[in-house]
Structure 1
Amino acid sequence: MSDIVGQMIETSGLANLSFNNFFMIILACVFLYLGIRKRYEPYLMIPIAFGMLLVNLPLAGLMGAAAHGNPGGLLYYLYQGTNLGIYPPLIFLCLGASTDFGPLLANPKTILLGGAAQFGIFAAFFLAVVLGMTPEEAASVGIIGGADGPTAIFLTTRLAPQLLSAIALAAYSYMALVPIIQPPIIRLLTTEKERKVEMKANREVQHKEKIIFPIAVTIFVSLLVPSATTLIGCLMLGNLIRESKLVPRLAETLQNTLMYIVTILLGITVGAKADGDLFLSVVTLKIIFLGLLAFIIGTASGVLLGKLMYKLSGGKINPMIGAAGVSAVPMAARVVQKEGQRANPSNYLLMHAMGPNVAGVIGSAVAAGVLLAFFG
């Protein structure tokens, strides 16, 4: 009997719990708290955190590969959708079906603001190289500045898969913290007079424009940056399904059912790659620092170009809409709307900010394609 009890103790999770396991379980609980209690990006934070929790429970073997008669763990097989780059493009397909590019088409020059906000990606990339990271790792870290989780995951799985969990968590954490990070930057770089600027209502966009746009963007971007075709193609297909108005059930399925299914699969498998050895390392600190820096520079770049456009337009463009150039849709646009009404209660900037906001989605995908072309 004593041998049986001893064997049960030796093979229990408690007996095999390492400090790294314990640390990651506590961290997973913290992220669950942020997702549930604080509502920080709960659709992804909750499954990511629970994936972290599951994979760090000793001897559970959920991420174990098939070997020597062992069929392998459930999360190992689900992870192949992340590892092979299947889930992020599907997220883009669903995102396209949920996105209205009308504000961008109504004011095409706002695409420049979406482009300017991607400057943070390349600034962080060069700094990461200076800090000793490989070009592949630096590119994966820099893409956090685009504030687009699926894009960060897509690029990282191809260039630096060993950093996937840390980069994914950093990317989604900063996306969730957009309402906290962006307002101080906006106020620092703009004057009260600029923040009070009211913009005229956008023109009405014709239906045929919305049909032509996704087709034209797919052709143009794919010919210019072929490595961006996977993300852009899925994004624009989803949008074409939405705007065609001919297949409403497909559009509804993409916007709801498929989006939620893929989101939970992506989240739990990304969390399942959270290894304690990685999180308790200098590399993780670099990722957290560089990711935040990339996001700050991206926001600042958009606002600064917005100030230039404010000057050139004779004060008709509110420079704050440049902050929405990061592709955290629609959170960044809502931040601009809130800051606009804080300065001027009659100000309504949401639809104006959605132009650079959706342009940022395209911009981050193109930036990922450029980095993939160079280092993939």
Structure 2
Amino acid sequence: MESLNALLQGMGLMHLGAGQAIMLLVSLLLLWLAIAKKFEPLLLLPIGFGGLLSNIPEAGMALTALESLLAHHDAGQLAVIAAKLNCAPDVHAIKEALALALPSVQSQMENLAVDMGYTPGVLALFYKVAIGSGVAPLVIFMGVGAMTDFGPLLANPRTLLLGAAAQFGIFATVLGALTLNYFGLISFTLPQAAAIGIIGGADGPTAIYLSGKLAPELLGAIAVAAYSYMALVPLIQPPIMKALTTETERKIRMVQLRTVSKREKILFPVVLLMLVALLLPDAAPLLGMFCFGNLMRESGVVERLSDTVQNGLINIVTIFLGLSVGAKLVADKFLQPQTLGILLLGVIAFGIGTAAGVLMAKLLNLCSKNKINPLIGSAGVSAVPMAARVSNKVGLESDPQNFLLMHAMGPNVAGVIGSAIAAGVMLKYVLAM
């Protein structure tokens, strides 16, 4: 009988809490969206599966060594940790002390837990290497750069302003998060507000990179919101685009793009990096990897490297990035009022970014002889190339012969640059406070 009781107690089902059950359902929902609805499957599938692994009771796959120690509830070990942190020897007090501790102190406590015989779970290790170090989003950005053609942007430099205008959604969302905090509706710190704001850039790797630096506790919710809304761009953007434009404006036919020379394409990533990095060094990691990937593509002398970055490397890193994000889909971090705020602010950010791009295009038309179709302004959010395809689709609904795809790729690429610069601004000024 005792052996049967021990067997039952060893079953994960006996330790399944309500929070874990909810998160298992959330993870299954992400898998369904990825497989059945094909919503950003390259990221949502590994994120969803990582969420399943993270919420298996007693498996501890997403726990660090210190979190495993706290989950074990050994009074003697808790007393040792509490003595180091000068707090009461209970789990709640230790967690509060750790939240306020410096990163160096947190690292010391993690090492102490390892010395006591605890080991981090495999997903926690993935997170530490892929996101904790910042490597995975940067490698993804390198791959995105290698797949990007700056030709449409160089052929029509004015579209850079459309990409810049669309970033207004980022900063408006930061203010929105701080407003919710000011009125006591949902509590957000300034770093958390900055991390949430980057959702408005519609750039998943940038959102993961920035939240990993500023608000790792919100990483799971921010990543899920960013990629979910990127998948919903065809539903979110068209109503806003149509509301802000007239039928006549949607029928505007733009001048044929000029041919961009090879020399221009090679020089652009180098000049772009030098100009931005010298003025804003904090943007150098993201923008540097993006420009390096693009230079490999355009130089034509390292085709093997360019092909590897565009295919094998970015695919491998995407797997580990998704599983690492899934490690943060645990109940105590995800099932918070802040998650609802993130989801709400995320869709508002997309809407504001879309509207700002369209309105900027209309503003440029007031002082320009060669008119811009305002629909391409919505492509300033950096969901590449989905936002550009949406601009083209809405344009074709008004004029079946008006193909806007290549024109829309200009602001679309500019949006990627803009989101990287916006992330650099956030890092510089938020971390300095």
- Scaled by the length of structure 1, what TM-score is found? 0.98
Task: Return the offset for 1:313.
Answer: 2.5
Matched, 1:241 2:292: no
- RMSD between aligned alpha carbons? 1.0
Matched, 1:77 2:76: no
Q: Which residue of 2 aligns with 1:159?
A: 214
Q: Which of 111, 118, 135 lines up with 1:86 in the alignment?
A: 135
Deviations 1:160-216 (A, max 9, x none): 111000001001111111111001110010001111111121000000000100000
Aligned positions of 1:244-283 closer than 5 A: 244-283=299-338
Tell me which moved more, 204-213 or 127-136: 127-136
Deviations 1:319-361 (A, max 9, x none): 1100000000000000001011111000010010000000000
Hey, what's the Cα distance between the residues in 2 that align with 1:216 and 1:315? Answer: 27
Hey, what's the Cα distance between the residues in 2 that align with 1:201 and 1:38? Answer: 36
Higher Cα Rg, which structure: 2
Q: Which residue of 2 aligns with 1:194?
A: 249
SS at 1:131's partner residue?
helix
| Paired-residue identity, % | 54
Deviations 1:78-103 (A, max 9, x none): 11121111100100011100000000
Q: Which of 94, 107, 110 lines up with 2:156 in the alignment?
A: 107
Task: Return the offset for 1:314.
Answer: 4.4
Task: Return the offset for 1:76.
Answer: 1.4
Tell me which moved more, 218-227 or 277-286: 277-286
Hey, what's the Cα distance between the residues in 2 that align with 1:295 and 1:327? Answer: 10
- The answer to whether the 8 Å contact 1:152/1:171 transfers is yes
Hey, what's the Cα distance between the residues in 1 that align with 2:147 and 2:180? Answer: 39
Deviations 1:279-333 (A, max 9, x none): 3221111111111111110000000001112332346210110000000000000
Hey, what's the Cα distance between the residues in 1 that align with 2:352 and 2:241? Answer: 12
Q: Any stretches of 5+ residues in structure 1 without a counterpart?
A: none
- The answer to whether the 8 Å contact 1:20/1:276 transfers is yes
Q: Which residue of 2 aligns with 1:128?
A: 177
Q: Any stretches of 5+ residues in structure 2 without a counterpart?
A: 66-113, 182-187
Q: Which residue of 1 aligns with 2:25?
A: 26
Q: Which of 355, 378, 398 lines up with 1:323 in the alignment?
A: 378
- AA in 1 matched with 2:261: Q
- AA in 2 matched with 1:300: A
Q: Which residue of 2 aligns with 1:14?
A: 13
- The answer to whether the 8 Å contact 1:197/1:315 transfers is no
SS at 2:158's partner residue?
helix
Tell me which moved more, 296-305 or 126-135: 126-135
Hey, what's the Cα distance between the residues in 2 that align with 1:337 and 1:315? Answer: 19
Q: Which residue of 2 aligns with 1:56?
A: 55
Aligned positions of 1:292-371 closer than 5 A: 292-314=347-369, 316-371=371-426
Hey, what's the Cα distance between the residues in 2 that align with 1:319 and 1:69? Answer: 61
SS at 1:197's partner residue?
coil
Hey, what's the Cα distance between the residues in 1 that align with 2:45 and 2:150? Answer: 29
Hey, what's the Cα distance between the residues in 2 that align with 1:75 and 1:268? Answer: 7
Q: Which residue of 1 aligns with 2:102?
A: none
Hey, what's the Cα distance between the residues in 2 that align with 1:313 and 1:272? Answer: 50
Tell me which moved more, 304-313 or 342-351: 304-313
Hey, what's the Cα distance between the residues in 1 that align with 2:225 and 2:422? Answer: 18
Hey, what's the Cα distance between the residues in 2 that align with 1:314 and 1:25? Answer: 56
Q: Which residue of 2 aligns with 1:215?
A: 270
Hey, what's the Cα distance between the residues in 2 that align with 1:316 and 1:14? Answer: 63
SS at 1:108's partner residue?
coil
Deviations 1:211-262 (A, max 9, x none): 1000001101101111000000000000000000011111110110011111
Hey, what's the Cα distance between the residues in 2 that align with 1:351 and 1:77? Answer: 42
- Scaled by the length of structure 2, what TM-score is found? 0.85
Q: Which residue of 2 aligns with 1:35?
A: 34
Q: Which residue of 2 aligns with 1:3?
A: 2
Hey, what's the Cα distance between the residues in 1 that align with 2:25 and 2:119? Answer: 29
- The answer to whether the 8 Å contact 2:254/2:370 transfers is no
Task: Return the offset for 1:44.
Answer: 0.4
Matched, 1:168 2:233: no
- AA in 2 matched with 1:26: L
- The answer to whether the 8 Å contact 1:309/1:319 transfers is no
- The answer to whether the 8 Å contact 2:218/2:334 transfers is no
SS at 1:52's partner residue?
helix
- AA in 2 matched with 1:16: H
Task: Return the offset for 1:39.
Answer: 0.4
Larger RCO (CA within 8 A; separation ≥ 6): 1
Tell me which moved more, 62-71 or 139-148: 62-71
Q: Which of 207, 219, 229 lines up with 2:284 in the alignment?
A: 229
Hey, what's the Cα distance between the residues in 2 that align with 1:218 and 1:314? Answer: 31
Task: Return the offset for 1:148.
Answer: 0.4
Number of residue-to-residue matches in the alignment:
375
- The answer to whether the 8 Å contact 2:27/2:52 transfers is yes
Hey, what's the Cα distance between the residues in 1 that align with 2:307 and 2:231? Answer: 25
Task: Return the offset for 1:369.
Answer: 0.3
